[in-house]
Structure formats: structure tokens, C-alpha cells
Chain A
Amino acid sequence: MSKKFIKTYEDGPVGVIELNRPEVLNALNRQMIDEIVAQLEDYQRNSAIRVIMMKGNGKAFAAGADIEEMKNDTPTSMELADPFAVWDRIASIKKPIITAVNGFALGGGFELALHCDLIVASEDAKFGFPEVKLGVMPGAGGTQLLSKAIGQRKALEWIWLGEQMSANEALELGAINRVTSKELVEEETMRLAHQLAEQAPLSLRLIKEAVDVSSDVPLREGMKLERKNFYLLFDSQDQSEGMQAFVEKRPPHFKGE
């Protein structure tokens, strides 16, 4: 797929996706989402990539969906095009996806960030769902993913009011992971990405799977999956290496096998 609205590059084991429509604060249109998902799947298949990092070019992460593109839609045209279905494919990415949010992450932009595993924000970042003010509501996972992250009551209040929230407020609620200086958000996110890339890739993958199901399945089922994943890792070379390195008091070197 040609990349019209994103830029991609690799920084060692980190595959980067940069939203690249700075002239409209990276407003998400349908092709852009298609490009992002296709690139995520490319990185998933690429064994040299261990961690995926997303970020926005310019003053914002993504200031929402492209309103122009959808203002004349009807329920039928929406159902036929089903523009949000492609988002579900993000959930099948097994590698860690972390995102650097500088400036605005609003509406679809916030939803995209919530689809990532970890969110690092600049101290001047603003998060919010303004959909209610346009007479609609989040449609690409906002109500579900935010409730999962911060609980039902706070999510309702936030999405109902359509207000923007500062990075520090979002951090306090548990909607994001870290807040950094605005000048360093990319650098610090990249540092975190490299730190993750040092960990055993299969461990990261099976941890992600187990944590992801924790809010969807009954506790006993989750415990079972966790246990199976734990046992499964004992088949990996990285388990032998990790435990050997621990005994030998040296840092491990993981290969992802």
C-alpha cells in the first residue's frame, strides 16, 4: 500500500509510524487508518521489529476524524463502507505498540492512542472526545477502550461533557502511562521502546495477550490462560537464556525464539 498520509522508518528494532498530515493536525481520514493498519501488520510480520512506536508529525498527535469526509454520510453509506471495522485489526497486533502524544489527541486521534498499549504524552498534550458537541459519539472504540482504562463513571463524565483533559489529569485517571517534557516526548518514548525491545519478545507477546483478556473473560479463564502462557514460555530459548543469565549474574540476550 502506498503511504500518502503516514511516514514510516525503522530505528533498530523499533518500527515507527508517523501520522503525517500536519497541515490539518493529522486529522484521520479513512485512507490514513487503512495505511496505519497495513503498516502495523507489516511490522507484525517483520521479525526484525520488536516494538512499534506511533507519533504525530507537527503540533498534534491527531486532532480527530476528518469531518469533511463524513458530514454527508447516511446510516446506509456508513454500514456499506463500515469505516471503523478496520480498527479491529489493530487488536490482533501482538507486538507492543507504544505511542507518543504531543499536542492534541482528540476524537479518533484519542481512540487511535487508546488502541495502543502504552501512551506517553507531552506535558502540554490535550485528550478528549468532542463528538458529543457535534451531535454524535465516539465510534471507533472510544466508549469501550476508555471505560476499560479508567472505569465507567469517569469515562461517562469525560465523554458526555466532551471536554479536553490535560496530560496530568489523564495520567492521574490512568488513561495514559507517562507525562514528559514537551521537548522530549519522542525521545523519551523511543527510549521506552528500546527498553521494551531489550525484553524477551515472546514474554512481551504472551503478557499482552493475558492482560488484554483480563477484562473480557471470567477470572478463572484468565488465570488459566496466564498459566498456559507461563508454561508455554518454558519451551523458548529465551527462557533458558534468561534464567542462565540470572544464575551467571550477567544481562540476558534475548533472540525472540
Chain B
Amino acid sequence: MGQDFQTIVYDVNQGVATIKLNRPWAYNAFTKEMNREITKALKLSSKNEDVRCIVITGEGKAFCSGQDLQDVDEKTNHADFLRSRYHPMLKTLKEIDLPVVAAVNGTAAGAGLSLALACDFRLVKSGTKFMSAFMGVGLVPDSGMMYVLPRIVGYAKSMEIVTLNKPITSDEAHKLGLVTELIEPDEWGEKTSAFAKQLANLPTKAFSLVKRYMMDSMHESYEEFLDKEAQAQRIAGQSEDHQEGLQSFKDKRKPHFIGK
């Protein structure tokens, strides 16, 4: 399946689609092609009924070092650049119903950090560093970082991370709530795939509804939100996995969810 891609390796195995950024010589920096291929792989995953979890990770030492600055010069219109290259990828990521995990195997900087933040979960290899980086080259954080970061760590910490541009160690990131699970390097492969499998076995319909509405709740009134919640529960209540959940509870066994 991966033969169509030049800048990523795409693989589907046991319900888990893995998108591995594959430009290790450039610390997996984004190029136009890589933005496009990530978007395409996300769409392929969302259309594939066998896929119930997506993992984004990097080949080599880095997760992703952000935009490849070789593509940027004094003529670049940064707004057009974002609208045409990054926004389709980020909007696709947000719209996808499935759980998306950033398996941060190494440095995540600039838009690479934004990508990790745009995912639903972050698994982080111990020793990894995060850096906003944007202000280091006189730019503002982009690719949604200023939207997502304060929602995770709050305003004050976001200001520090972005404007002081200090590298954050994986331990600090863990304390800030940026990290779902901190994993030692020798357990990396085993623990990341165990986590992805755990997500792939969740009641996927219910997960998708949580993903769809949890973020919305932050800018909606309580009344609007309660109505959405009622709708979400109506949908989840009609799923096969809910029936399985009820039955397994009665049978006093673990539920086996099929994602429908």
C-alpha cells in the first residue's frame, strides 16, 4: 500500500494505520509533498473500515522538525503557504472520527510540535525534546499551535513555551499534561503498539462522538452543549458496541467491541 508515497511510509496492520514521516536526513521536515501525502494517508485511513486507530510517527532520530526552511525565502507568502499546504492536513486531522496518536519518537519542533498537538494522544519517548521554534526565526506559531496549546496547558505556560522558545524536556512535558505516556527507549516499539491496539479495540463510534464534541464544548454554551450531548448519546445508544457493552455487563465478562 505504501508504494504510492515518497515522503511517508503508510501501513495498515491489525486495525492500526501507521503514517511514518520518512525524511530522516532532514529530521522529517515538512515539504509540500509530505503535507499532501499525510493528508492523503489520513483520508485513506478514514475510508478504510478495518482501520480503528491512526498512529503518526517519525523515521530516525526526530518526530518532525517543522517546515523545511529550504522551501522558504523572502518571496514566500506565508499565509498562502499555510492555507494551501498545512490547513488541508490539519482540517482533515480534526475531521477524522478515529483516534489519532502522535508517537513522538524524537524532537518535535515548530509545525512538527503543532502536528503532535493536533493529535488526540501523545506517546513520547523519554529524552525527547519539544520546541516551539517559531519565534526563533521571527515568526508566530502556526498550524494551530496557538489554538491547541492553551487548551492543553493553559495560557500562562503556553506564553512561556511560545515566546521564550526554550526546549521542553520530555519530563517537563509530562508534568504539563502534554504527554499521554512517557516511554523508555527500550520499550518504545512494544508500548506504542500496545497503546494503539488498545485504542483500536475501543467502541469506535462512541470514541468518534467524544472526539467530535469534546473540543466544541469549550466554545459553546452549556445549553447548546447539553443538546449535542443528547444527540451524541442517541447515536451511541444505537450502536452495536453499546448492545455488546450491556450484554457483557450482564454476562460479567469483558466486552468485545467491533467499532460499529
Contact = CB atoms under 8 A, between A and B. Distances in A.
B237 to A, nearest CB: 11
Q: How large is the interface on A (under 10, 10 to 19, 20 to 34, 35 or more residues)?
A: under 10
Nearest to B213: A181
Interface in A175-194: 180-181, 183-184, 187-188
| A interface, over-half SS | helix
A140 B231 CA distance: 34
B232 interface: yes
A187 B237 CA distance: 14
Contacts of A123: 212
Contacts of B231: 180-181, 184, 188
Contacts of A187: 234
Contacts of B212: 123, 181
B235 interface: yes
B98 to A, nearest CB: 16
A181 B216 CA distance: 13
Contacts of A183: 235
B228 interface: yes
B15 to A, nearest CB: 22
A170 to B, nearest CB: 16
A185 B254 CA distance: 33
A94 to B, nearest CB: 30
A184 B209 CA distance: 12
Nearest to B231: A181
Nearest to A181: B231
Interface string A81-102: 0000000000000000000000
A181 B208 CA distance: 12
Nearest to A168: B216
Nearest 4 CB-CB pairings of A with B:
A181-B231, A183-B235, A184-B231, A181-B235
11 contacts: A123-B212, A180-B231, A181-B209, A181-B212, A181-B228, A181-B231, A181-B235, A183-B235, A184-B231, A184-B234, A188-B231
